[in-house]
Structure 1
Amino acid sequence: MKTLFLFTLTLVLALNLNARENPFEATNAYEEEAARIIEQNEIDQNSINEEAYIKEMQEKMSKVSDKPKEDANKNKVKEAVKKLKPALKVEKTYTKKEVKKLIKKAQVQSESKVKKLVEKELEKTKVVEPKQVVYVKPRTDIIDDEEVIKAKMKTKMLLDFIKVEYNDSQITIHTKDAVSKKFTLEKENKIIIDYKAKKNFYTKRDTLESTNFKKIAVGNHKKENFYRVVILLENKPSTYNVDYKDGLITIFSSTN
């Protein structure tokens, strides 16, 4: 840089000396201004190069110096967090009621575990007893009263739509027709039952082999749309009970 500066200065001086001999050459003022411009350009260029170099070195130095600082800062933050951790842990406090609940829960869990252990031990020691099958022979000397009654029942088919079952203590009238009326004739020892139906038949009479029911008769009342069943009793109708169930009429003797 100094060599360039000296060279320029020598050139200016030579031109200055030559100007005195040649009137057409540039004056001193012109030469001085030209030298000043050249020098200023060199200074500006040098200053630009120096600034760029300084900036580059500063950036490199800052990178080198910032890394240890960054690591140091990270370490400081970690140490600060470690110191704050115990302070951040808040100890849970329990009320008296909550303490009782926890105790009760622990007791229940403990009892349940003990119970399961005991059950397991009992299953291990449990002796399987053989099952005994006891056969009870039915007694032939005891027979249900209903079976006895049914066994002694007699049957009469009076007409194709009416049937009677009877014995010494009761009589049952079987028919699909509905009962319209029931009454008694106390003096004549008769129970009379009317059934609502229009039938074509002649009067039917029959004798019953029973100690309480003597005779039965079925009469037709076609014009009035009913037929009548008359039962002749051994005793007064007041000594008999009449039961109407499931469309069937059964007459029981209370004296037998």
Structure 2
Amino acid sequence: MKLMSLSILSISLSLSLFARENPFEPTDQFLEQKSNIINANEQAKQKKEQAQKDKIARELEEQKMAEMIIAEKMMKQKKQETTVENNQKQVKTTKQQTPYIPSIVENFKVLPFVKIQIENDILTLKVDPKYPLLNQDILKPAKKFLFDFRGNVSFYTIRKDIVSEDYESFAVGTHREKNFFRVVINLNDEMINYTETIDSKTGTIILQKNK
């Protein structure tokens, strides 16, 4: 009996010693490291797959947004084209309904320093700025505008009729002894029906018939 117990103990010790001395037998530490490596590789693979899925999802979302922007631009462009087309139709209709009335334009170079232009209901008096405006007067009963300009100039009085419904004629004369010359504009309507604008810097006076 004692001999059998010794034999069993001897066999156990031999097996244990063989396990420790065998370099090809995997240890617990090796198995744990192997498991960790496998898990790490699996996690990396899962992260890569998830990143690929996220990239595809972003690309799909960007494509969807781009398609929406293109659709909005197309709708906006179509709306603008429709608006332009409607405006063109409206302008065309207006042109067809409005009869053509030619502009009445007259230009008078009265003197080298005095010019008068009439276009429809607007009369423009242009005097060289070196002859400043001294005085302006209104003769209501006679329906006249009077403008006096400083200047020691000599010329014969000039009178001209105007082909216009709003202005009858004008006259330019000198008062050399008083060192000024005068421009007179004769009207076809009451003074209250005209608006006067004076720009002394440019020597421009504009008369316009009120509508």
- Verify: 1:123 aligned to 2:62, yes or no: yes
Which structure has more strand as a fraction of its residues? 2
Q: Quick one: which of 154, 175, 179 aligns to 2:133?
A: 179
Separation in 1, partners of 2:59, 2:153: 79
Query: What is aligned with 1:154?
Result: 106
Query: Which residue of 179, 184, 191 corresponds with 1:225?
Result: 179
Does 2:209 correspond to 1:253? yes
The whole-number CA distance in structure 2 between the counterparts of 1:192 and 1:202 is 18
Q: What's the CA shift for 1:154?
A: 1.9
Contact 2:143 2:187 in 1 (8 A): yes
The CA RMSD measured in Å over matched residues stands at 3.4
Identity within the alignment, %: 22
Cα contact 1:168–1:213 (8 A) shared by 2: no
Q: CA deviation at 1:206?
A: 0.6
Matched, 1:239 2:199: no
Separation in 2, partners of 1:141, 1:196: 53
Query: What's the CA shift string for 1:192-244, capped at 9, x where partnerless?
Result: 01122232322111111112211100011223232100111123323322112
* 3-state SS of paired residue (2:184): strand
Q: Which amino acid aligns with 2:205?
A: I
Q: 1:149 to 1:205 in 2, by over 3 A?
A: farther
Gaps of 5+ in 2: 1-56
Written as runs of structure 1 = structure 2, the 5 A alignment for 1:171-210 is 171-177=123-129, 178-210=132-164
Q: Which has the higher contact order (CA 8 A, sep 6+)?
A: 2
Measured at CA, do residues 149 and 119 of structure 1 come closer, stay the same or move farther in structure 2, by a change above 3 Å? farther
TM-score (norm 1): 0.43
Instruction: Give the drift of 1:173.
Output: 0.5
1-side partners of 2:122 and 2:160: how far apart?
17
Q: Distance in 2 between the 1:206 and 1:200 partners?
A: 19
Matched, 1:163 2:115: yes
**C-alpha deviations, 1:63-95, integer Å up to 9, x for none?**
xxxxxxxxxxxxxxxxxxxxxxxxxxxxxxxxx
Length, aligned pairs only: 134
Deviation at 1:140, TM superposition (A): 5.9
* Kept in 2: contact 1:241–1:251 (CA 8 A): yes
Compared CA separation, residues 167 and 224, structure 1 to 2 (3 A): same
TM-score by length of 2: 0.51
Which range is displaced more, 172-181 or 235-244?
A: 235-244
> Does structure 2 retain, via aligned residues, the 8 Å contact 1:203–1:217?
yes
The residue correspondences of 1:1-256 to structure 2 (distance < 5 A) are: 122-125=61-64, 126-127=66-67, 129=70, 132=77, 134=81, 136=84, 139=91, 151-177=103-129, 178-245=132-199, 247-254=203-210
Moved segments of 4+, more than 4 Å: 118-122, 130-143
